[in-house]
């Protein structure tokens, strides 16, 4: 099971949050990107630009933080944080 948690944050307060579970057979990075798209769709947001910075955050912290500047359209919040909660990879 691949689970992510998306949070819309303004002034350090969570305005909205949503969990997404993905059971597809794609790579973890593709699952994460697809989950970001699903979160944005369900919260009625445009999809943010995916930058190298987000790849680095995902690899290092298992989180990607999208500022309001990462969205093409105007948004009324400070950031969208998407955290990787669990993966279907088994530890060995």
Which domains are assigned to the chain? 2-86 (3.10.20)
Burial of 86 (0-12, 13-18, 19+ CB in 10 A): exposed
d(CA 29, CA 44): 23
Give the DSSP H/E element, type plus range, for residue 29: helix 28-42
Q: What is the pLDDT of residues 8-28, one digit of tens each?
A: 999 999 999 999 999 888 888
Residue 33 confidence class, pLDDT cut points 50, 70, 90: very high
Tell me the average pLDDT of the chain. 92
Residue 59 has pLDDT above 60, yes or no: yes
Judged against a pLDDT cut of 80, whether residue 89 lies above it is answered with no
> Does the pLDDT at position 87 exceed 90?
no
């Amino acid at each position: 099971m691949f689970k992510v948690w998306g949070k819309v944050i303004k002034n350090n307060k969570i305005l909205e949050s949503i969990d997404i579970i993905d059971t597809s057979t794609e790579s973890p990075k593709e699952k994460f990107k697809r989950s970001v798209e699903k979160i944005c769709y369900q919260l009625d947001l445009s999809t943010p630009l995916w930058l190298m910075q987000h790849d680095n955050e995902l690899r290092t912290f298992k989180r990607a933080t999208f500022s309001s500047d990462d969205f093409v359209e105007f948004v009324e919040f400070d950031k969208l944080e998407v955290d990787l909660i669990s993966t279907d990879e088994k530890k060995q």
